[in-house]
Amino acid sequence: MKIVVIGGTGLIGSNIVNRLRLDGHEAVAASPRTGINAMTGEGLGEALAGTQVVVDASNSPSFEDQAVREFFETSTRNLLAAEAAAGVGHHVALSIVGTDRLPENGYFRAKVAQENLIKASPIPYTILRSAQFFEFIGGIIDSSADGDTIRLSPALIQPIAADDVSALLADLTVGAPMNAIVEVAGPDRFPLDELARQFLAARQDRREVVADVHARYFGSELDDRSLVAGDDARIGPTRFHNWLSRSSARA
């Protein structure tokens, strides 16, 4: 099966490409780096010729509200049009748990717009909403830092290893279109402030984490439902403490 992975040179995309190739599929790593740009349309027609499935694991180069919305809307429209012209039978997209629960977050609003375009298209689809990756916890901490103090909400978060997300996304890619949204998250839920303390302690980082119910998460106040998956979510196998031990040893 020929499968084009948009964002195929990134963290998730490269993982999916490797998995699909090991299973014998013709997986194309598509990104501006390889001459295929969903934002401009460059190389899309040629890349999608003979393709059965397209996976969109791309990300915006800018997180500014207007720029990120323009990226996801423009790239998704270009992709869906090119897929229709090429006769692609399945559009798979990576999204985020909580996109519809945090409207103050410009990035999440952009992902909702992307999802709506996919659902309105005649192309069969599967959308995977993932919880936050373990690999992004450091970035969440740094975004909330004020000197040596980090203010974070004690609301629950259910993070997951990027490798577990990639494994499920690869499985969904070779399966039948679900025309639905699937959620995936890690096996454990943590208060966000406590998760940060564990992460920093493992890195021997002495910055202080302060719990603050009004602390903003990229513009939004959180509650215990904001960043956790629903009861029907798929659950990744990797526990946070195991991932943290391995990643801290490498660091």
Mean per-residue pLDDT for 182-194?
97
The region that residue 216 occupies, defined by phi over 0 for left and psi between -120 and 50 for alpha, beta otherwise, is beta
Nearest-5° angle of CA 164, CA 241, CA 141?
85
**CATH fold for the domain made of 2-250:** Rossmann fold (3.40.50)
Which residues does 96 contact at the CB level (< 8 Å), separation at least 6? 108, 111, 129, 130, 131, 132
Given a cut of 70, whether residue 30 has pLDDT beyond it is: yes
At 121, list the tokens. Answer: 């298209």
The whole-number pLDDT of residue 249 equals: 75
Mean per-residue pLDDT for 61-73?
93
Report which of 165, 151, 156, 172 is spatially closest to residue 214, judged by C-alpha positions: 151
The mean pLDDT value of the chain amounts to 96
247 versus 208: which is more confidently predicted?
208
The whole-number pLDDT of residue 251 equals: 66
Mean per-residue pLDDT for 80-99?
97
Burial 151-165, CB ≥16 within 10 A → b, else e? bbbbbbbbbbbbbbb
Distance CA 28, CA 14 (A): 10
The whole-number pLDDT of residue 219 equals: 87
Residues 55 and 3 sit within 8 Å (Cβ to Cβ) = yes
The whole-number pLDDT of residue 175 equals: 97
| Structural domain spans, the chain | 2-250
Residues 53 and 173 sit within 8 Å (Cβ to Cβ) = yes
Q: What are phi and psi of 92, to 5 degrees?
A: -115, 130
How distant is the alpha carbon of residue 94 from its chain centre?
5
Given a cut of 90, whether residue 241 has pLDDT beyond it is: yes
The whole-number pLDDT of residue 141 equals: 96
